Amino acid sequence: MSVPDYMQCAEDHQTLLVVVQPVGIVPEESFFRIYKRISAVSQVNVRDSQRVLYIRYRHHYPPENNEWGDFQTHRKVVGLITITECSSAKEWPQTFEKFHLQKEMYGSTLYDSRLFVFGLHGEIAEQPRTDVAFYPSYDECETVEKRIEDFIESLFIVLESKRLDRATDKSGDKIPLLCVPFEKKDFVGLDTDSRHYKKRCQGRMRKHVGDLCLQAGMLQDSLVHYHMAVELLRSVNDFLWLGAALEGLCSASVIYHYPGGTGGKVGSRRAQGGSLSAEAGNRHRPGALTSNGINADTSAEIGRAKNCLSPEDIIEKYKEAISYYGKYKNAGVIELEACVKAVRVLAMQKRSMEASEFLQNAVYINLRQLSEEEKIQRYSILSELYERIGFHRKSAFFKRIAAMQCAAPSIPEPGWRACYKLLLETLPGYSLSLDPQDFSKGTHRGWAAVQMRLLHELVYASRRMGNPALCVRHLSFLLQTMLDFLSDQEKKDVTQSLESYTAKCPGTMEVITLPDGLKLPPVPFTKLPIVKSVKLLNLPTSLRPHKMKSLLGQNVSTKSPFIYSPIIAHSRGEERNKKIDFQWVQGDVCEVQLMVYNPMPFELRVENMGLLTTGVEFESLPAALSLPAESGLYPVTLVGVPQTTGQITVNGYHTSVFGVFSDCLLDNLPGVKTNGCTVEVIPALPRLQISTSLPRSAHTLQPSSGDEISTNVSVQLYNGETQQLIIKLENIGTEPLEKLEVTAKTVNTKEKLYGDFLSWNLEDTLCQFPLKPGKIATFVVNIKVKLDFSCQENLLQDLSDDGISVSGLPLSSPFRQVVKPRVETKPLNPQESSKVGDFSHVKTLEAILNFKYSGGPGHAEGYYRNLALGLHVEVEPSVFFTRISTLPATSTRQCHLLLDVFNSTEHELTISARNNEDLILHAGECQRMAIQVDKFNFESFPESPTDGAQSVNAKQLEEERQQARGLEINSKLDICWKIPSLKREGEASVEGVLNQLVLENLQLAPLQWDILVDGKVCDCDAVVTCQVGDPVPLQVKLTNWSKHSVGPFALTMMPYQDYQNGVHNYELQDAITFVGSNTFHIDTVKPTKDSVYFGALLFLYTGDFYLNIKFHEDSSSRELPLSWLCLPSVHIRATEPVAPAQL
């Protein structure tokens, strides 16, 4: 026997072998349809008996194996079923002849045979026959199973007769010697009458009867016969048949101990009828008769428990039997099959190590030269058996050998598909799976070198199968999962191979389904490149949306009554990992930053890299990048545009590397750090872009709030200069710009500003709204820089110095000689005056213009954007006021303001004030100018410019009042400067140089005194003319603008003449007389009221006369400041009376 049956198991010893074969031309599909129905009848309950017959069907059985039927009867073909097609009566004789020829092949061992004819109609088909069954078609054959059962019963009758015939002890008859094929030539010429020969014949026949009993369902009898055969054969050293008897004994014991079978097939061999339990229960009662009345149990006196081997003894007897088989070279198939049967038994007993010893012995059993198909079958069965005993890697080893055998060079047409299928089955044994997710968690399992070899073989088999998609998938899997174990050269080789395959068939994320239903999941390249972190980026500062503050303020969560709870804080922390606290805007480009690393030893080109999102329609804008070899962390920014609103979740990213498209999900990247993956997308907002008439600034403002400035512009101005900043507002978005608010904030300056630094009129711009996309609106901002013009250096000498020219002061003023010069304690150093650098220091002003704008759907949802424009102004000094003082004017309601003006520029400069001539100053020159101004009624200013309900610091209040006074004075002075060469001009402010003394001199007294002579107000240099001899009316009027009542007062009028040489003549009793008293009495005057006193003067001589008015030293006048009691000068010119005209 040369063809082993690797599927055999111990319980096959009780089966009858039936061969089912086609005769003539039968479609393979139709044949196997009928074969499947026939093989379903695998066990039949014997009629009128408790025994069960088991049938083993084969559609192919080598005739040479049938020659070993006497050695083990389950190897003998006892039944033949042939299937044929016959369409006409003419074909019937030929068909029947073929049936007989088929029977002759197994004729010596057949018990019975059947012919199933399909397709024949007519008289022949209607003739009743026992050995032939006619069916119209393959679909109309309902009685096939019944015919098979009848056929099996006929086999049982023959089997039973042979068993009884062989089991009957016929002492007078000579027992034939049963032989195996290779023994026949050895027994020629032996003495057949010797006792040794007879024992051999008896032992072999007893073993043969045991086989027949086992097939006939008489387990107890077979055990008895096997024991007897073992004793007889052992005594004559008939080792081959002794091994067969021991194997039979083991098989019967296995059938008893393991009624479910040892073959590992689904379902029990004895599932039908429960025959074993019935048999085991009855134990074939002694003396029980069969249906034909013959005593079936010849050894009922021997208990089964005594004859049946224990599970441990079964293995020992198997070892002994196999050792006997090993003595015969021609019994290699028998030895191999015995090893396989023992392994199956040991697998049931969970004795893996002993089973592996049997399998190891089976590996080294030498058979004849096997065909490639037989080798594949042998290694596959070894693999299956190793799998059953838990030796998974050993199983995979033999499965791989079988796979390689499928593509052996000696095969004309290698079976690459079978090779590939077997290689796939080896993967679990080497701790490999086709799912890359199994390699992303924990440490690597299995031997990486072996796994890589196997994956390479899968790739090669796929290529030889002509399936490039499989090649790409397996190579991708190799590169993804084994990257850490590949050498630099191997990485280059694998990637080159991958690129060559993807040029024909790009790698995709589709699941590949094999013909047998196995699914190959996609292999995303999560390591090419390796992503360390994913961070969703906020929009640029100028594009970030802000929520308009609700009238109710910030909504406070009312879920918990506690101000702080650690449980709430913990839950919020988890939520923060999922949702981010900023928003994206519909229609705007959003960014996600990835920190990536290239583990390859060469430059890695990543193409078509973009984002994978859910929740919102998102347009991903792919990027391409090139990473240096083994680069460190490299930032990559992926962008996209959300098209709708809602919650968007960034699930991962997609790439194209080496022609393989990958969708890499963050959930499958456990080591990736992220600040959250979910962000809210709000409705679309307009986008504002600003451009200005000023150049961009190199200085970048850093506001304290942390906001970023989108644009910075700079300008250079002289102190006091005003310039227009023209800003063009362009709507570069897709939504209309509907709302605009502009605010300004001065930052990073310690300089004191006077007046409005930035001013604008927004109404002109809002008239152009709503601003459609692509449209431009103009916005004008006035930049006015007014810093402190004061300087502490006294560059001019005192007022009494003759070399100093005073601009604007009449030299004929009578008060010029009266004013006492101030004594300077610090003399002027001419060298210091040349140090112009102290006055050329450039000061810096910085401000931020904030444009708060909104429109479109985002405006309806209460969102807006803020765009900041940084303004950097360099202020160069123009003029300085180094000193300020006052001189009285001829009018009590006026005074002269003296200013020392210094030109700190490098250009010629003119300075002017209201009603004054221009004063020309050369570069670095200082001159004094006098300005005649009306005094100011500062008392009319409110006491508190803020709400009276608030407590205001007294010092701050005083500063605000002084600032208001300075503003009022400056507006009246209207001092301007011009630089003709540069065509630039500006204002000059005295607000910073005013001191308390000057303010007091400039303040209008609360008590206003008016003196009228002859109805004419006497003030300044006004001269009242009267005639000698005519009484001149004199009125003294007091108006009280203070907050309290004043008076009473007493004034004395004292006339005098001024000789213009410092001499005043008061002895004028003969020249002037008063009509009444020369003392005027004024009663108490209430606030805002006035009082008038009337008197008269009479001039006796001509001339220029002055009145000196003195207050009486009483309590009323003593309590008031002297500045309140300042009266105007009175100048009266007496002339000769005009003679009347002569008629």
Quick check: 304 pLDDT over 60? no
Task: Look up the pTM and report it.
Answer: 0.68
Instruction: Characterize the bridge pairing of strands 976-979 and 909-912.
Output: antiparallel
Element (H, E) at 239: helix 239-257
pLDDT on residue 400: 92
- From CA 410, how far away is CA 65, in angstroms rounded? 27
pLDDT on residue 586: 92
Q: 578 with 676: CB under 8 angstroms? A: yes
321's CB contacts (< 8 A; 6+ apart) are: 242, 243, 244, 246, 247, 250, 338
86-90, 382-386, 407-411, 797-801: the lowest-pLDDT one: 797-801
- From CA 998, how far away is CA 897, in angstroms rounded? 8
Q: 813 with 937: CB under 8 angstroms? A: no
Q: In the numeric block, which tokens belong to residue 978?
A: 């011009």
Sign of the alpha-carbon torsion through 198, 204, 207, 213: negative
Q: What is the 3-state secondary structure (H, E, C) of 426-449?
A: HCHHHCCCCCHHHHCCCCCCCCHH
Q: What average pLDDT does this structure show over 502-526?
A: 90
Residues in a beta bridge with 55: 16
- From CA 653, how far away is CA 509, in angstroms rounded? 13
329's CB contacts (< 8 A; 6+ apart) are: 366
Tell me the Cα Rg of the chain: 63
- From CA 225, how far away is CA 129, in angstroms rounded? 39
Q: Tens of pLDDT along 68-93?
A: 888 999 999 999 999 999 888 888 88
Quick check: 37 pLDDT over 50? yes
* Closest-CA residue to 791 (of 832, 847, 748, 746): 832
How many Cβ atoms from other residues are within 10 Å of residue 637's Cβ? 12
90's CB contacts (< 8 A; 6+ apart) are: none
Instruction: Characterize the bridge pairing of strands 711-718 and 863-876.
Output: parallel
pLDDT above 70 covers a percentage of the chain that reads: 83
Q: 916 with 982: CB under 8 angstroms? A: no
Q: Tens of pLDDT along 132-162?
A: 999 988 888 889 999 999 999 999 999 999 8
- From CA 178, how far away is CA 72, in angstroms rounded? 11
Residues in a beta bridge with 851: 742, 867
Q: What is the 3-state secondary structure (H, E, C) of 1069-1108?
A: CCCEEEECCCEEEECCECCCCEEEEEEEEEECCCEEEEEE
Residue 551 CB-density burial (10 A; 0-12 exposed, 13-18 middle, 19+ buried): exposed
Q: 218 with 282: CB under 8 angstroms? A: no
pLDDT on residue 314: 94
Q: What is the 3-state secondary structure (H, E, C) of 523-592?
A: CCCCECCEEEEEEECCCCHHHCEEECCCCCCCCCCCCCCCCCCHHHHHHHHHHHCCEEEEEEECCCCEEE
Q: 341 with 9: CB under 8 angstroms? A: yes
Q: Tens of pLDDT along 406-423?
A: 988 888 888 899 899 999
- From CA 183, how far away is CA 70, in angstroms rounded? 12
Q: In the numeric block, which tokens belong to residue 880?
A: 């300085």
Residues in a beta bridge with 870: 712, 848
Q: 497 with 505: CB under 8 angstroms? A: no
Could you give the 3-state DSSP secondary structure of residue 295? strand
Provide the CA 215 distance to its chain's centre, in angstroms: 71
* Closest-CA residue to 315 (of 337, 346, 338, 356): 346
Question: Dihedral, CA atoms, 809, 815, 816, 820, nearest 10 degrees?
Answer: -130
pLDDT on residue 785: 86
Which residue type is seen at 829? Answer: N
Quick check: 697 pLDDT over 80? no
Q: Tens of pLDDT along 1019-1053?
A: 766 788 888 878 888 888 777 777 777 777 787 88
Quick check: 7 pLDDT over 80? yes
Quickly state the pLDDT bin for 1117 (edges 50, 70, 90). low
Q: In the numeric block, which tokens belong to residue 1126?
A: 């300042």
Please give the mean pLDDT across all residues of the chain.
81
Question: Dihedral, CA atoms, 8, 13, 14, 20, nearest 10 degrees?
Answer: 50
- From CA 41, how far away is CA 399, in angstroms rounded? 32
**Alpha-carbon distances, residue 201 vs 72, 183, 233, 324, 872 (angstroms):** 15, 13, 9, 18, 123
